Amino acid sequence: MAGLLCIIAALAVFCYNIAESERAKAASESIVAELSGEIAYAAEHEAAEAFPSDNADRTMPKLGVDGSAYAGILTIPSLGLELPVCARLDMDAMQSAPCLYSGSLYRKDMVIGAHNYDAHFGRIGSLTPGDSVIFTDAENHRCTYSVLSLETLRPEQNSELVTKAAGDDWALTLFTCNYSGSARVVVRCGEA
């Protein structure tokens, strides 16, 4: 009887996780559609500014969609993902989209975190060195990256997650928790 209850509980958790992933996928797709339109409109109707590579301290631009601010759109072609990126870490917003955890596109130390839903970062551990990752900011500046490496960090290793060590050449980090929550799956990307 106890074994049957454990199986039923596991099945319930599994079904819940699938439902959450599908809800997150639908929310992300809706936000990306609106955000893409906002980015295209801004690019078409505002004076285009060249990518501000000479101002590392520049604040990342944001666009509002449904009351939330977004920094841009993250595309991972090999995983078939196109996701909005919230402009700041917000646990409620993370239910629908990845969030900017720290850093900046312009300082080349951007760190983006997301839940491990399949529709978000649940499959980033299958990326391989050389895979492309693209970030389009709110002003339609498109930056292409190449996966450099994958690593696993403990949840308390925040400084290793966000701080570059001597010789590090990553400009973008993607991370999520593993399914048990005991570790973080980390993908480091360099400029392509």
* pLDDT of residue 52 exceeding 70: no
Asked whether 97 and 27 are in contact (CB, 8 A), the reply is yes
| Residue 92 to residues 70, 87, 140, 179, 190, Cα–Cα distance (Å) | 14, 13, 26, 19, 29
Q: Give the span between the Cα atoms of 19 and 23, in whole angstroms.
A: 6
Top-confidence range, 21-25, 30-34, 37-41, 42-46:
30-34
Residue 121 has pLDDT above 60, yes or no: yes
Identify whether the C-beta of residue 162 lies closer than 8 Å to the C-beta of residue 174: no
Q: What is the model's pTM? A: 0.85
pLDDT exceeds cutoff 60 at 48: no
Q: What is the dihedral of CA 37, 42, 43, 46, to 10 degrees?
A: 160
pLDDT (mean) for 166-181: 91
Share of the chain above pLDDT 70, in %: 94
146 membership: H or E segment, kind and range:
strand 142-153
Check pLDDT > 60 for residue 150: yes
DSSP string covering 5-69: HHHHHHHHHHHHHHHHHHHHHHHHHHHHHHHHHHHHHHHHHS------TT-TTPPPP-EEETTEE
Paired with 86 in beta bridges are: 70, 99
Q: What is the mean pLDDT of the chain?
A: 88
Whether residue 3 has pLDDT greater than 70: yes
Tell me how far apart the alpha carbons of residues 13 and 7 are, in angstroms, rounded to a whole number: 10
Q: Which residue has the higher pLDDT, 182 or 49?
A: 182
Domain range for 122: 2-191
Higher pLDDT, 141 or 99: 99
Domain containing residue 54: CATH number:
2.40.260.10
- Looking at residue 76, what is its pLDDT? 98
- Is 1 or 43 the better-scoring residue by pLDDT? 1
Domain count within the chain = 1
